[in-house]
Amino acid sequence: MPTRQGRYTLRLDSCPSIAAYASVVGKKESEGPLARYFDMICTDTTMGEETWEKAESRLQKDAVNKALAKAQLAPTDMDYVFAGDLLNQCISSTYGLRDLGVPLVGLFGACSTMAESLCMGSVFVDSGAASNCICVTSSHFCSAERQFRYPLEYGGLRTPSSQWTVTGAGSAIVSQSSVAPYVRAVTVGKIQDMGITDTNNMGAAMAPAAADTLVTYFTDTNTSPDRYDLILTGDLGEVGSQLLVELLKRDGYDVSGRHSDCGLLIYDTETQDVNAGGSGCGCSASVLCSYILTRISEGALNNVLFVATGALMSPTSLQQGESIPGIAHLVYLADSKWS
């Protein structure tokens, strides 16, 4: 049963289990430092499909099927799929999951979607509303570029603070079973908007949301950063990560040495020409559902706060002079249940 801890955090008493997880990535991601942790690598990032959007749908489909295979479960064993993405009207999820035959709860949380889906799936399992559910999201560099920025053929130059959209998907099966990793608690975030309007600096737009959700969580649970081995943000990149550390320091929390960011883990930022790091729904999804969950399963990490961040804007809202609201959702993952 979910129990409220503090004002906004839910302690999940049964500790839902992540029974299996899978990641599928593209060529550039396979050249980064986490290559050996991914389940599937597609050096042809069209995935054999006719369009980039269909390729992205395929990433979600493959990530789901791979996780089901690893768990030795069928789609019919799943009670719900919690999914979303950043394409207009979330078409990667819809078309990628169309043939699955599982009740779909469509989500929109921009790049925070992996954490949002885990929050929902874990609450459903902990409350008995579901026995098994799948959480999945994706992004694709080529579909994101043409929707949010410029046609690829234009070859637009990128600013140093800009981030590189990950081609990848991650999926996790949340279940009532008893294998690590476990979800011990979740905190759903509130929108934070500090007035940032620079679409090439999403890290700065999202850092205040990550800081707010972390401070909420520490306050609610009366814990401090040193209780955790790793505080892992979604895709703040270099600029946003520095900002987060500073914002938290101002609030009395020192996360330096414990903080890492999926956007900085997935690429070698020195050699891979990605400027401030990776981004996109698939960034935190593919890093979490490979390297991180494996490290927790092995017991190499014991207590991890996964805080994926999203920038809730659209090209239209920016053209209309709006700033970029950020959001961050937190999932507390551990290698053991509550004792």
Based on the shown chain and the rule CB under 8 A, indicate whether residue 129 belongs to the binding site for a second copy. Answer: yes
Task: Give the total of residues touching a second copy (CB under 8 A).
Answer: 61
Based on the shown chain and the rule CB under 8 A, indicate whether residue 322 belongs to the binding site for a second copy. Answer: yes
Residue found by looking up tokens 């991601």 in the block: 29
- 31, 46, 77, 95: residue in contact with a second copy (rule CB under 8 A): 95
- 33, 101, 151, 257: residue in contact with a second copy (rule CB under 8 A): 101
Which residues are CB-contacts of 255 (< 8 A; sequence separation ≥ 6)? Answer: 214, 225, 231, 244, 245, 248
Based on the shown chain and the rule CB under 8 A, indicate whether residue 103 belongs to the binding site for a second copy. Answer: yes
- Select from 66-74, 154-162, 226-234, 313-321 the region that touches a second copy (CB under 8 A): 313-321
User: Cα separation of 12 and 319, whole Å?
Assistant: 42
Output the CA torsion sign for 242, 246, 248, 252: positive
Interacting positions 250-309 with a second copy (CB under 8 A): none
Which residue lies nearer to a second copy by CB, 191 or 300? 191
Based on the shown chain and the rule CB under 8 A, indicate whether residue 61 belongs to the binding site for a second copy. Answer: no
> Strand ranges (DSSP E) for 163-248?
164-165, 168-175, 182-187, 230-233
Which residue lies nearer to a second copy by CB, 35 or 129? 129
Which residue lies nearer to a second copy by CB, 188 or 207? 188
Interacting positions 65-94 with a second copy (CB under 8 A): 79-80, 84, 86-91, 93-94
- 20, 62, 66, 124: residue in contact with a second copy (rule CB under 8 A): 124
Tell me the CA end-to-end span of the chain in Å, nearest whole number.
15
- 33, 128, 156, 257: residue in contact with a second copy (rule CB under 8 A): 128
84 close to 121: Cβ distance less than 8 angstroms: no
Based on the shown chain and the rule CB under 8 A, indicate whether residue 37 belongs to the binding site for a second copy. Answer: no
CA distances in angstroms from 325 to 208, 213, 311, 322, listed in the order given: 10, 14, 6, 9
Please state, as a whole number, how many other Cβ atoms lie within 10 Å of the Cβ of residue 106: 14
- Select from 107-115, 156-164, 196-204, 229-237 the region that touches a second copy (CB under 8 A): 107-115
Exposure class string for 31-58: b at 16+ Cβ within 10 A, else e: ebebeebbbbbbeebebeeeebbbbbbb
Which residue lies nearer to a second copy by CB, 8 or 37? 8
Which residue lies nearer to a second copy by CB, 133 or 296? 133
User: Cα separation of 105 and 118, whole Å?
Assistant: 12
CA distances in angstroms from 165 to 38, 82, 101, 261, listed in the order given: 17, 22, 29, 14
User: Cα separation of 131 and 170, whole Å?
Assistant: 20
Interacting positions 38-57 with a second copy (CB under 8 A): 50-51, 53-54
**Which residues of the shown chain bind a second copy in the complex (CB under 8 A)?**
1-4, 8, 10, 50-51, 53-54, 79-80, 84, 86-91, 93-95, 97-98, 100-110, 116, 119-120, 123-124, 126-129, 147, 187-191, 193, 312-317, 320, 322, 325, 327
